[in-house]
Chains A and B, each alone.
Chain A
Amino acid sequence: MPEDTNIEKKPRIGVFICHCGSNIGGFVDVKAVTEYASTLPDVVYATDNLYTCAEDGLNNIKESIKEHNLDRVVVSSCTPRTHAPLFQRTCEAAGVNKYMFTFVNIREHCSWVHMKEKEKATQKAKDLVRMGVARARFLEPQEETKIDVTPAALVVGGGVAGMTAALSLANMGFPVHLVEKEKELGGFVKNLHGLMMTKKSANEAIQPLIDKVNAQKNITQYVNSHVATVEGFIGNYDVSIGTEGSESKEVKVGAIIVATGAIPLVPEGLFGYKEHPNVVTSMEFEELCNKKEIPKLKSVAFIQCAGARGQKVSYCSRICCNVAIKTAINIAENRDNMLGATEEKAEAEAGQVVEEPAAEMKAEDEGLERRRRRRGRGRREADEAADEGGAPSSGVEITVFNRDVMAYGVEHELEFNKAREKRVKFIRYLPDNLPKVSTKDGKLEVGYFHETLKMERTMPVDMVILSTPLVSQPDAATLSQLLKVPLGQDGFFQEAHVKLRPVDFATDGVYVCGTCRGPADIAEAASQASAAASRAAIPLANGYVQAEALTSRVDETKCTGCGTCVEVCPYGALRKNDDGISEVIVAACKGCGCCGATCPEGAITMTHYTDQQLLAEAKAALEEV
């Protein structure tokens, strides 16, 4: 056993060894282990129970604590992962701090895995009990503290996600500070022309949301503004909001939601962008639609994944296929007379009448067409026909060059089908053979390799629309540093867990939603925003957070302020104080112990998992008996 130098008062340890029926008793000589336990230093009482976790056993613990004036308890039975809370409560009920309790696992880690060697299993059980007792001797009582929470929130970003989150929290009654860097609310969506699956314009669609935000008195809006500084931790953030042309404002909040959105990639140097006229990104096309500046079109080509999936960024941007499908349908239907010239429109309308038979008739036609192709005409001929003929109702030929169409979900799949019904052609290309945009005699054309025909082809077009991926905001890194939350590889904010905690950050008190955490459509952004708001509401509604008792502690006399602990902490739970010395933000610490194992000066100790406790336990395993 190690030196007793740090033990001020002589410990009084009680050891309770469980038979667990025959689960332990059948493979380990529990009586012998109990007898051995009673000989260990500072053990004043040792006993065995048939079931320590049963009423009898628990009462036995409570009574023994009183009778033998025990100040720490060792239970040697099953696993702390299931039973520690029960025994801890029992200790507390009898006046022993729950951190003065030690669990020794002699079932999962002994009797059940050594069922055929009772002698050795008994010896191991003795060793394990000795290790537990050695640890128990160095335990210290701990207090769990509650930290007050300021019941207000900061939402960064005034797009669909930000507004939805702000509104949810404000409707729950919490004051919300909504910060938007542009001059008005609306975010990315307000620049769009039309939305999928609704006949409303984008502006019409989000106006009700903006109106609600404007009407909600709990929301304070800051436009033309940015988050300048953030200090503090969950429940207690001091935020300074900088506004163009006026003094910065200080607010106190308990939770922060990041909803800063994303921007479309500018495809510099790809597919003749900026090189040929009429090569635009899908975002620019939306703007042209809004300004009613779409030229006369006879033929349009979309190029999907322009800059995505291995070109400029590695990921699939998730929304672009649906955007292209939406835009293709809008063009085919000549929505809002978007195609400019009136005579075109008249033609298109005339065409529409002819081409718009009842749904089932059309489906029948399609079926016939498909059967006909399969049966009689050669495949090549059929594809030729698909390539050459059959312009959609607006009279514009629409082709979507894609790697694969990601129209995920039932609604999007239906829209995809609708586009095909409108004779929008989807032509596949492979990543090693990208379509080429060029001009011939002043006329724009797309050259591509037809995967079915196995031949190079060219298609004259009036306009090329590049579906570029969403990329992270250029100032995401600044905000990530201010909030001490991570960005993933692609520059988007990274959630705590991709599946189980999709709108939390690892750091408590900060939440994320919308396209700043990765491409998402409007509905997804809105659901994430509602989720983030409800997560943020937990500490706000409780009014307090329970801080971990098991946190790291900094010895200020040893710390030299090198800052290595601040770098390695995944929770931003360490910061340097005004003296340049590290301090632990108890409310943010999760007690993993990384900082303690890292600290070059050995100045950081992990509560309840000190070097002394762990070494006493581990070295006790090596003692010769």
Chain B
Amino acid sequence: MAQKHHTAHHGKKHEPDKEWEPKIVGFLCNWCSYAGADLCGVSRFQYPTNIRLVRVMCSTRVSPHLVLDVFEAGADGILIGGCHLNDCHYMTGNFHTEKRVELMKRLLKEAGIDEGRLRLEWVSASEGEKFSKVVTEFTEGIQKLGPSKVRSDDMMKAKVSAADDASQTFRLKALVGKEFNLLSKGNAYGEEVDAEKLTGVIDVATQDEFERALILELARIRPMSVKQLGMVMDVPTDKILRHIVLLRQNSKIAMEHPEGFTPVYKTIAIGGEQ
């Protein structure tokens, strides 16, 4: 599988491959992974130079927005490091991290970005050698995947941007925010929540929110018809239409002067906001 990617990438690229060095960002929690990376240094375990580390207090701070926005900015890979489960300095932080990373991976998949570009690892403060192994392995994996297409492919950039927007919708944030507690403590009525069912709900929500975000992203650039959107996004037109009805109700998209008999839609720019 990896081999296939590799050759495909070789065929497409114009510039010589030697020039390209993966750009990898790592978000590490202060208490375990960052300390593990420190120990790795103290013990002089070597690893490739591609990774750039950002310290956060807890891996739970790493919201899908942080990750997807950095992917949108062109990162080839992102590593998230936290304490081992049940060892979190903040009790349950990394359980939430785990759920958030699942959402990030779902959205990356929707956007057509290889899930292998995002890695979550538990590295304790005593696992210096593990840290070097993780970084080496991850860097090699990214090298095989080749450069992220976000920088060169506008559609890809739009998709990652849509994934980022989707990750910030109330629905997905609330679902994923509550996921760990729902599964570990049950719902507000004290009933057990079926994990598979909840996963199903989140899967559907992820796809819906991504598609809506992508419609807005594409119709922001130029007004598009339902059929055009369906073709570009490879989504059945009836589904696109349902999304558009909802987006119109929420005043996020407007119908513009129809070209002939086909109405086109344009995203309503929100004044003042970024």
Q: Which residues of B contact A621 (CB under 8 A)?
A: 23, 25, 52, 54, 75
Cα-based distance from A175 to B124 in the complex (angstroms): 43
Q: Are A109 and B61 in contact (CB under 8 A)?
A: no
Within 8 Å of chain A (Cβ to Cβ): is B70?
yes
Q: Are A568 and B168 in contact (CB under 8 A)?
A: no
Cα-based distance from A83 to B117 in the complex (angstroms): 33
Within 8 Å of chain B (Cβ to Cβ): is A535?
no
Write the nearest CB–CB distance from B258 to chain A, whole angstroms: 36
Within 8 Å of chain B (Cβ to Cβ): is A59?
no
Kindly supply a per-residue 1/0 record for chain B positions 47-58, scoring 1 wherever the CB is within 8 Å of any chain A CB and 0 otherwise: 101001111111
Q: Are A568 and B181 in contact (CB under 8 A)?
A: yes
Chain A residues numbered 91-125 whose CB sits less than 8 Å from any CB in chain B: 105, 107-110, 112-117, 120-121, 123-124
Chain A residues numbered 575-608 whose CB sits less than 8 Å from any CB in chain B: 590-594, 596-602, 606
Q: Are A112 and B44 in contact (CB under 8 A)?
A: yes
Q: Which residues of B contact A270 (CB under 8 A)?
A: none
Q: Are A112 and B42 in contact (CB under 8 A)?
A: yes
Q: Which residues of A contact B63 (CB under 8 A)?
A: 596-597, 611
Minimal Cβ-Cβ distance residue in B for A117 = B49
Cα-based distance from A363 to B95 in the complex (angstroms): 56
Within 8 Å of chain B (Cβ to Cβ): is A71?
no
Within 8 Å of chain B (Cβ to Cβ): is A618?
yes
Q: Which of B52, B55, B65, B180 contacts A124 (CB 8 A)?
A: B52
Q: Are A614 and B56 in contact (CB under 8 A)?
A: yes
Within 8 Å of chain A (Cβ to Cβ): is B232?
no
Q: Which of B41, B54, B55, B96 contacts A568 (CB 8 A)?
A: B96
Within 8 Å of chain B (Cβ to Cβ): is A617?
yes
Cα-based distance from A609 to B23 in the complex (angstroms): 22
Most chain B CB within a 10 A radius of its CB, from A79, A123, A124, A128: A79
Minimal Cβ-Cβ distance residue in A for B184 = A489
Q: Are A113 and B61 in contact (CB under 8 A)?
A: no
Within 8 Å of chain A (Cβ to Cβ): is B91?
yes
Q: Which residues of A contact B75 (CB under 8 A)?
A: 618, 621-622
Within 8 Å of chain B (Cβ to Cβ): is A491?
no
Cα-based distance from A611 to B60 in the complex (angstroms): 13
Kindly supply a per-residue 1/0 record for chain A positions 534-572, scoring 1 wherever the CB is within 8 Å of any chain B CB and 0 otherwise: 000000000000000010000000000010100110100
Most chain B CB within a 10 A radius of its CB, from A496, A568, A594, A600: A594
Within 8 Å of chain B (Cβ to Cβ): is A615?
yes
Write the nearest CB–CB distance from B184 to chain A, whole angstroms: 10
Within 8 Å of chain A (Cβ to Cβ): is B230?
no
Write the nearest CB–CB distance from A505 to chain B, whole angstroms: 10
Q: Are A594 and B60 in contact (CB under 8 A)?
A: yes
Q: Which residues of B contact A338 (CB under 8 A)?
A: none
Q: Which of A112, A570, A592, A596 contacts B41 (CB 8 A)?
A: A112
Q: Which of A108, A116, A618 contacts B40 (CB 8 A)?
A: A108
Q: Which of B45, B132, B173 contacts A599 (CB 8 A)?
A: B173
Q: Which residues of B contact A112 (CB under 8 A)?
A: 41-42, 44
- A562-B174, A618-B25 known; A79-B57 Cβ under 8 A: no
Counted as pairs of residues, one from A and one from B, with CB atoms less than 8 Å apart, the total is 151
- A115-B46, A622-B25 known; A593-B56 Cβ under 8 A: yes
Q: Which residues of B contact A454 (CB under 8 A)?
A: none
Q: Are A611 and B65 in contact (CB under 8 A)?
A: yes
Minimal Cβ-Cβ distance residue in B for A121 = B49
Within 8 Å of chain B (Cβ to Cβ): is A80?
yes
Within 8 Å of chain B (Cβ to Cβ): is A508?
no
Cα-based distance from A113 to B180 in the complex (angstroms): 36
Write the nearest CB–CB distance from A510 to chain B, whole angstroms: 14
Q: Which residues of A contact B34 (CB under 8 A)?
A: 79, 81
Within 8 Å of chain A (Cβ to Cβ): is B157?
no
Q: Are B70 and A609 in contact (CB under 8 A)?
A: no
Minimal Cβ-Cβ distance residue in B for A497 = B91
Within 8 Å of chain B (Cβ to Cβ): is A199?
no
Cα-based distance from A120 to B54 in the complex (angstroms): 19
Write the nearest CB–CB distance from A456 to chain B, whole angstroms: 40
Q: Which residues of B contact A127 (CB under 8 A)?
A: 52
Q: Which residues of B contact A108 (CB under 8 A)?
A: 37-38, 40-42
Q: Are A600 and B56 in contact (CB under 8 A)?
A: no
- A81-B30, A120-B49 known; A592-B23 Cβ under 8 A: no
Q: Which residues of B contact A617 (CB under 8 A)?
A: 54
Within 8 Å of chain B (Cβ to Cβ): is A398?
no
Q: Which residues of A contact B62 (CB under 8 A)?
A: 597
Chain B residues numbered 50-101 whose CB sits less than 8 Å from any CB in chain A: 52-58, 60-63, 65-66, 69-70, 73-75, 89-93, 96, 100
Chain A residues numbered 63-90 whose CB sits less than 8 Å from any CB in chain B: 79-81
Within 8 Å of chain A (Cβ to Cβ): is B261?
no
Q: Which residues of A contact B40 (CB under 8 A)?
A: 108, 113
Q: Which of A131, A567, A592 contacts B90 (CB 8 A)?
A: A592
Write the nearest CB–CB distance from A303 to chain B, whole angstroms: 32
Within 8 Å of chain B (Cβ to Cβ): is A377?
no
Cα-based distance from A539 to B35 in the complex (angstroms): 30
Chain B residues numbered 165-210 whose CB sits less than 8 Å from any CB in chain A: 168-171, 173-174, 177-178, 180-181
Within 8 Å of chain B (Cβ to Cβ): is A513?
no
Minimal Cβ-Cβ distance residue in A for B47 = A113
Within 8 Å of chain B (Cβ to Cβ): is A324?
no
Write the nearest CB–CB distance from B17 to chain A, whole angstroms: 17
Within 8 Å of chain B (Cβ to Cβ): is A619?
yes
Q: Are A611 and B66 in contact (CB under 8 A)?
A: yes
Q: Are B178 and A597 in contact (CB under 8 A)?
A: no
Within 8 Å of chain B (Cβ to Cβ): is A37?
no
Q: Which residues of A contact B52 (CB under 8 A)?
A: 124, 127-128, 131, 618, 621
Minimal Cβ-Cβ distance residue in B for A135 = B54
Write the nearest CB–CB distance from A188 to chain B, whole angstroms: 28
Write the nearest CB–CB distance from B166 to chain A, whole angstroms: 13
- A594-B61, A621-B25 known; A109-B44 Cβ under 8 A: no
Within 8 Å of chain B (Cβ to Cβ): is A17?
no
Q: Are B91 and A622 in contact (CB under 8 A)?
A: no
Q: Which residues of A contact B132 (CB under 8 A)?
A: 113
Q: Are B57 and A600 in contact (CB under 8 A)?
A: no
Q: Are A592 and B60 in contact (CB under 8 A)?
A: yes
Within 8 Å of chain B (Cβ to Cβ): is A257?
no
Q: Are B46 and A116 in contact (CB under 8 A)?
A: yes
Q: Are B181 and A567 in contact (CB under 8 A)?
A: yes
Within 8 Å of chain B (Cβ to Cβ): is A470?
no
Within 8 Å of chain B (Cβ to Cβ): is A506?
yes
Most chain A CB within a 10 A radius of its CB, from B38, B74, B132: B38
A-B contact pairs, 30 of them (CB 8 A): A79-B38, A81-B30, A81-B34, A108-B38, A112-B44, A113-B44, A114-B46, A121-B49, A131-B54, A506-B91, A564-B173, A564-B177, A567-B177, A567-B181, A568-B178, A570-B93, A592-B57, A593-B56, A593-B61, A594-B60, A594-B90, A598-B96, A602-B173, A606-B57, A609-B57, A614-B54, A618-B27, A621-B52, A622-B73, A622-B75
Q: Which residues of A are at the interface with B, using a C-beta cutoff of 8 A?
A: 79-81, 105, 107-110, 112-117, 120-121, 123-124, 127-128, 131, 496, 506, 550, 562, 564, 567-568, 570, 590-594, 596-602, 606, 609, 611, 614-615, 617-619, 621-622
Q: Which residues of B are at the interface with A, using a C-beta cutoff of 8 A?
A: 23, 25, 27, 30, 34-35, 37-38, 40-42, 44-47, 49, 52-58, 60-63, 65-66, 69-70, 73-75, 89-93, 96, 100, 132, 168-171, 173-174, 177-178, 180-181
Q: Which 4 A-B pairs have the closest CB atoms?
A: A108-B41, A593-B61, A592-B90, A621-B52
Q: A121-B49, A621-B52 are in contact. List 13 more A-B contacts (CB 8 A).
A: A80-B55, A109-B37, A110-B49, A113-B44, A113-B46, A131-B52, A131-B54, A506-B91, A594-B93, A600-B177, A606-B57, A611-B66, A619-B73
